[in-house]
Amino acid sequence: MSSVGKNYLMVGGNDMSSLLKSGLSFALLLACIFAMPAIIAPSPSGTTGTDFNIDRTIERLTRILGDERPHAADTDGSDYIRTRLLDEMRNIGLSPTVEDGTGCNQRRTRVHCARVRNIIARIGPSSGDAILVNTHYDSDAAGPGAGDDGIAVAVALEMSNMLLTQTPLARPVIFLFNEGEEDGLLGAEQFLRESSQAASVTDVINLEARGTTGPVVMFETSYPNNSDIRAYARNLARPAANSMMAEIYRRMPNGTDATLFLNAGMRVNNFAMLGTGLYYHTPRDNLANLSHATAQHMADSAWATLQSRLAETNVGASDTAIYTDILGRYMLILPQWLALPVFGCSLLLAAAVFALTLDRKIISLAFPFAAVILGAALPMAAHALISELRPENAYWRAIPDLSQLTTYSFAFGGGLISAWLLSGHGRAGLAAFWGGISIIGIILTQMLPGAAILLLPSIAAFSIGSLLAFFWVPAFAIGIVTATAALFILLLAQLPLLEDALNLGGASAITGLFIGLTSAALLSLTGRYKGNAIIAAIVLGVILTIATLLAPAYTFDRPGHLSLIYTHHTNTGQTSWIARADDRTVPAAMETLAEWEVRDGRIQAPADLIETLPGLDLSPIRTDEGLSLSLQAQTADRVDISLGNGTSGQLLFRGRRFEGVSDIFCFGRSCRTLTADFVLPDNSLPVAVQAKAIIYGAPETAAELIEARDLTHVQAFDGDQTIIITDMDAS
């Protein structure tokens, strides 16, 4: 056994220089990384094997969006979209109903409410466990929402069109086009609380977007998840899902409508497009930037999952699976319990190989951990320096490849340092490396179980090769090479999706970790490395860091985010411009147009008073239990009422009660006249109260600022606004 691996793995130890080998290895790594987006890209022709007509779907979306105006909940724009959506539904042959109510959702001490009009259509049997296809037809205030969530609406309509010819259906299918998702999942909340249709729903297909291009990823399921995963994968030729991303998302504070359906105990498959996330919630989320291939992939994914759900006869008890797609072609689904035994056996085999190697060195045990730590730490240190020296937070946005190459170079340098530590350690070093990966896998099974799937195939290949090597020496080399290939495929294929999801231009520890690990695995196959290769990688990283420091942060095609807000305080008469931006500065074109400064953590400048601002009237009335606040705000699109001094109490609003509330945010025209009653502790009065009337869009006096802004930036999320503010002490 002492010679196992020495003759099969140390390729080119004498005939190639360390520098040349490392250069070729880095080139191979980059080729794989930059080829991945094309490999996993959705097919524009579709893969459902049905007559799902994506051209007809896009035409329908074009008719619904019309002039592509923003259409936040309970606005004139929402009425415009709803009318056109209902026309499309009736033309298909559906009989939609509109459920008009108030949706409210509490987030810690804040309550979000709006008038919502949910549109519902039902196909199939009048009874039985129903499948819900859910989308939302409202957009954020900044953009037309062609991706979020317009294309989902159009895909759902085409699905309903196809289902009408697929009779009889084994189960009822309900299509919900809800209003108010962007303001706090308000349409879904109203549906679950008030709709008679909700009680029959057991399964949900939720269609969302956080971009306009790329694969449509199934990023969330219910738990246990095995039946959800298999329903998704059963009929889909081009899957895009892995349990690591689902695990990470599950631990984040973000939420979609699916969050409420999961809380209601329903089985959920949650889908979203993630590519070109810089257009998310901006005016660029429009028809021109929407990928038709991505729309087709959403249709394929949703339709395949729906057909699987319709074909189910007896789901039974589900268990928890870990899973990943393989290059967007296949799904690997394994029971979660399998990970720990496989990693444990691999660790034992690695220990046995290490112990039986006569020339083993204890320092070999540090090899895998050095790759992980250095792979993450070196690029993060570089990006921390860049972030400190540049005023832009999203400095990478204009040329993301440059920022990503900086990460890749430093992470590869970390892998080289690890390989240098391994040089001359032969089989013992390789056993130590894969034993260390097994330890990392064991840690993942306890801390982030879904991520274990990305290491499991590699570890299985190493284990099989190590075991067979006791009987046939070349098996060790074959196992190591196979394990490295599996690591390359599974880790590098995640980078495009991670970059889309995180939208950080490579400046993330997880990107560096993946590159460091794959680099170390590759370099361990190709012999000894010297310090000159490490120096070259670090020098390249430094050059790329300097280039990233000098490169433009934003361009017209890859803009930054900056929303322009005009504020007027009625108590003091103070008026200001506020630039709600990605950064700590405004674009150069805006700098001379106002006296900008950072004050109270915000970029602001004095503004001239606009005499024609609408009124805001707030009337507090002391009650036996607390305070009744009446508000009138003509033309407001949203009103906020906040209690100061850390005061919170029970809120009574439109027939509902909420505990521990200090703020109510009410969205839409129905909020222009409202009354909010607070039951407060005896010692809480007097209390400071602030009211805001928010109008979507900046005033006409902002035209010059907006023209300068739009050269390199766009409004985002809540968008440009006009805000009138009133403060008072209520006793």
SS3 category, 358 = coil
Query: To the nearest whole percent, how much of the chain has pLDDT over 90?
Result: 78
Q: pLDDT for 157-177, tens place per residue?
A: 999 999 999 879 999 999 999
User: What is the C-alpha separation between 23 and 6, in angstroms, rounded?
Assistant: 23
Cβ(221)–Cβ(241) below 8 Å: no
- Residue keyed to tokens 């322009």: 564
Cβ(144)–Cβ(68) below 8 Å: yes
Is the CA virtual torsion 336, 337, 338, 343 positive or negative? positive
User: What is the C-alpha separation between 515 and 513, in angstroms, rounded?
Assistant: 6
Residue 303 tokens read as 């339709």
Does residue 360 have a pLDDT over 70? no
Residue 234 tokens read as 């059963």
Residue 259's Cβ-count burial label (10 Å; 0-12, 13-18, 19+) is middle
For residue 445, CA distances in Å to 122, 336, 513 come to: 42, 8, 17
Average pLDDT over residues 31-53: 82
Q: Which amino acid is at 538?
A: I
Q: Give the strand pairing for 201-209 and 267-275.
A: parallel
Query: To the nearest whole percent, how much of the chain has pLDDT over 70?
Result: 95
- Other C-beta atoms closer than 10 Å to the C-beta of 727 total 15
Average pLDDT over residues 555-582: 96
DSSP 8-class letter at 242? B
Residue 226 tokens read as 């095995």
Does residue 685 have a pLDDT over 80? no
User: What is the C-alpha separation between 431 and 476, in angstroms, rounded?
Assistant: 10
Q: Which residue has the higher pLDDT, 508 or 8?
A: 508
For residue 647, CA distances in Å to 594, 623, 731 come to: 37, 16, 13
Residue 563 tokens read as 């929303």
Does residue 554 have a pLDDT over 90? yes
Does residue 6 have a pLDDT over 70? no
Report the DSSP beta bridge partners of residue 321: 335
Q: pLDDT for 288-333, tens place per residue?
A: 999 999 999 999 999 999 999 999 887 766 799 999 999 999 999 9
Q: pLDDT for 401-452, tens place per residue?
A: 999 999 999 999 998 888 887 766 678 888 888 999 999 999 999 999 999 9
Contacts of 354 (CB under 8 A, 6+ apart): 360, 364, 428, 431, 432, 435
* H helix and E strand count, the chain: 21, 23
Does residue 3 have a pLDDT over 70? no
The pLDDT score that the predictor gives to residue 420 is 81
Please check whether the domain covering 54-108+116-319 is classified as CATH 3.30.460.10.
no
Cβ(343)–Cβ(445) below 8 Å: yes
Helices (H), 164-198: 186-194
Cβ(528)–Cβ(423) below 8 Å: yes
Q: pLDDT for 52-76, tens place per residue?
A: 899 999 999 999 999 999 999 999 9
Residue 474 tokens read as 């070349």
Going by pLDDT thresholds of 50, 70 and 90, the confidence category of residue 50 is low
Average pLDDT over residues 244-260: 92
For residue 618, CA distances in Å to 243, 260, 569, 729 come to: 50, 33, 13, 11
Q: pLDDT for 91-144, tens place per residue?
A: 999 999 999 999 999 999 999 999 999 999 999 999 999 999 999 999 999 999
Taking every pair of C-alpha atoms in the chain, what is the biggest distance, in angstroms?
90
Q: Which amino acid is at 629?
A: L
User: What is the C-alpha separation between 316 and 226, in angstroms, rounded?
Assistant: 11
User: What is the C-alpha separation between 440 and 311, in angstroms, rounded?
Assistant: 40
Going by pLDDT thresholds of 50, 70 and 90, the confidence category of residue 497 is confident
SS3 category, 35 = helix
**Rg of the chain over all Cα atoms, to the nearest angstrom:** 29
Going by pLDDT thresholds of 50, 70 and 90, the confidence category of residue 11 is very low
Q: pLDDT for 253-297, tens place per residue?
A: 889 999 999 999 999 999 999 999 999 999 999 999 999 999 999
User: What is the C-alpha separation between 429 and 436, in angstroms, rounded?
Assistant: 10
User: What is the C-alpha separation between 589 and 194, in angstroms, rounded?
Assistant: 50
DSSP 8-class letter at 196? T
User: What is the C-alpha separation between 293 and 273, in angstroms, rounded?
Assistant: 11
Report the DSSP beta bridge partners of residue 692: 640, 725
User: What is the C-alpha separation between 496 and 245, in angstroms, rounded?
Assistant: 12
The pLDDT score that the predictor gives to residue 46 is 64
Q: Which amino acid is at 571?
A: N
Residue 27 tokens read as 């080139």
Closest CA to 655 of 103, 68, 204: 103
User: What is the C-alpha separation between 432 and 346, in angstroms, rounded?
Assistant: 11
Contacts of 683 (CB under 8 A, 6+ apart): none
Going by pLDDT thresholds of 50, 70 and 90, the confidence category of residue 12 is very low
User: What is the C-alpha separation between 669 and 79, in angstroms, rounded?
Assistant: 11
Global pTM reads: 0.94
Euclidean distance between the first and the last CA atom of the chain, given in angstroms as a whole number: 86
Residue 656 tokens read as 């509902």
Residues 129-142, buried b or exposed e (16+ Cβ, 10 A)? ebbbbbbbbbbbbb
Closest CA to 133 of 77, 91, 107, 94: 94
The pLDDT score that the predictor gives to residue 645 is 85
User: What is the C-alpha separation between 370 and 411, in angstroms, rounded?
Assistant: 11
User: What is the C-alpha separation between 54 and 65, in angstroms, rounded?
Assistant: 16
Does residue 48 have a pLDDT over 60? no
Q: Indicate the domain borders of the chain.
A: 6-39+335-550, 54-108+116-319, 559-731
Cβ(401)–Cβ(589) below 8 Å: no
Report the DSSP beta bridge partners of residue 242: 324
User: What is the C-alpha separation between 479 and 404, in angstroms, rounded?
Assistant: 31
Closest CA to 591 of 381, 323, 391: 391
DSSP 8-class letter at 528? -
686 preceded by cis ω (within 30°)? yes
The number of residues making up the chain comes to: 731
Q: pLDDT for 659-682, tens place per residue?
A: 999 999 999 999 999 999 999 987
Is the CA virtual torsion 571, 572, 573, 576 positive or negative? negative
Q: Average pLDDT over the chain, rounded to whole? A: 92
Cβ(364)–Cβ(422) below 8 Å: yes
3-class SS string, 138-161: CCCCCCCCHHHHHHHHHHHHHHHH
Residue 484's region, left for phi above 0, alpha for psi from -120 to 50, else beta, is: alpha
The pLDDT score that the predictor gives to residue 45 is 72
Strands (E), 546-705: 560-569, 575-581, 597-599, 602-606, 617-622, 626-632, 638-643, 649-653, 656-661, 663-667, 673-679, 687-696
The pLDDT score that the predictor gives to residue 19 is 84
Helix, strand, coil % in the chain, rounded to nearest 5: 45, 25, 30
Is the CA virtual torsion 502, 507, 509, 513 positive or negative? positive
Indicate the range of 189-193, 530-534, 632-636 predicted with least confidence. Answer: 530-534
Report the DSSP beta bridge partners of residue 678: 627, 651
DSSP 8-class letter at 350? H
Going by pLDDT thresholds of 50, 70 and 90, the confidence category of residue 197 is very high
Q: pLDDT for 571-580, tens place per residue?
A: 999 999 999 9
Going by pLDDT thresholds of 50, 70 and 90, the confidence category of residue 496 is confident
Residue 61's Cβ-count burial label (10 Å; 0-12, 13-18, 19+) is buried
